């Protein structure tokens, strides 16, 4: 039921420009919620399989099928994922189910480029068919992607890169695909709120 009209006039209005960078980041990422998570695997220059979660993740186009994620630079420069994708031209978006939460959080910690997060957290891998980076076997649905374009954003020392990938092939674990439909109970996706807060998506509302 919608709330009564009398309760719809009490708002606090803010100007994001007046926030410090970190506060703005926290406000935006805590407001646009819940977000799906792309666990991106990419190959480093030494052949190291990198894995990192990105929840600024969106469908850009259906035809062609384009998916995108956005990565913020670290103070030292681009994240490993961005560097790997721009130099190799391909990546895999591994979707994330509830049972992967702890490992996904661990993958987001800082590891030097020569260390594979995949090996550290104990995910198993499967070879991809059309791109070079492996896929995460625990992920119920994986998108093999070829870099379509990258778009740069940023101001006042803040820099982000949107990586857009064309989906070349999709792998669905047993039970995920029913005809052309995705079985969400089997996918059991994990959503991100902010920081270390996640949301389970099993409580579905049909309207």
Ligand X SMILES: Cc1cc2nc3c(=O)[nH]c(=O)nc-3n(C[C@H](O)[C@H](O)[C@H](O)COP(=O)(O)O)c2cc1C
Q: Would you tell me which residues interact with ligand X (CB under 6 A)?
A: 37, 50, 52-56, 69-72, 79-81, 104-105, 108, 110, 192
- Is-contact 4 25, C-beta < 8 A? no
Could you tell me the smallest distance in angstroms from the CB atom of residue 43 to ligand X?
Answer: 12
CB of 164 to ligand X, least distance (A): 14
Q: Report, in Å, the least distance between residue 39 CB and ligand X.
A: 9
d(CA 143, CA 91): 9
- CA pair distance 46, 113, nearest whole angstrom: 9
* CA–CA distance, 152 with 60 (Å, rounded to integer): 16
Judge whether 56 and 68 are in contact, CB under 8 Å. Answer: no
- Rank residues 169 and 193 by Cβ distance to ligand X and give the closer one: 193
Nearest to 133 by CA among 195, 87, 181, 73: 87
Closer residue to ligand X in complex, CB, 19/25: 25
Whichever of 162 and 177 has its CB closer to ligand X, that residue is 162
CB of 105: closest distance to ligand X in angstroms?
A: 5
Q: Which is nearer to ligand X, 81 or 94 (by Cβ)?
A: 81
Nearest to 148 by CA among 84, 90, 206, 70: 90
């Amino acid at each position: 039921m919608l709330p009564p009209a009398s309760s719809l006039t009490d708002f606090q209005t803010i100007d994001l420009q007046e926030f410090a960078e970190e506060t703005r980041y926290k406000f935006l990422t805590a407001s646009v919620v819940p977000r799906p998570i792309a666990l991106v695997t990419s190959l480093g220059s030494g052949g190291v399989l990198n894995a990192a979660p990105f929840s600024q993740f969106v469908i850009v186009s259906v035809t062609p099928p384009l998916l995108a994620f956005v990565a913020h630079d670290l103070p030292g420069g681009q994240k490993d994922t961005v560097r790997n994708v721009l130099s190799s031209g391909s990546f895999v978006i591994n979707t994330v189910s509830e049972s992967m939460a702890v490992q996904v959080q661990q993958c987001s910690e800082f590891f030097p480029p020569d260390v594979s997060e995949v090996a550290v957290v104990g995910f198993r891998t499967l070879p991809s068919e059309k791109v070079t980076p492996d896929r995460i076997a625990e992920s119920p649905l994986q998108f093999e992607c070829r870099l379509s374009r990258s778009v740069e954003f940023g101001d006042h020392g803040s820099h982000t890169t949107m990586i857009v990938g064309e989906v070349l092939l999709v792998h669905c674990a047993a039970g995920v695909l029913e005809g052309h439909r995705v079985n969400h109970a089997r996918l059991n996706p994990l959503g991100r709120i902010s920081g270390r807060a996640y949301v389970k998506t099993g409580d579905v509302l049909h309207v």
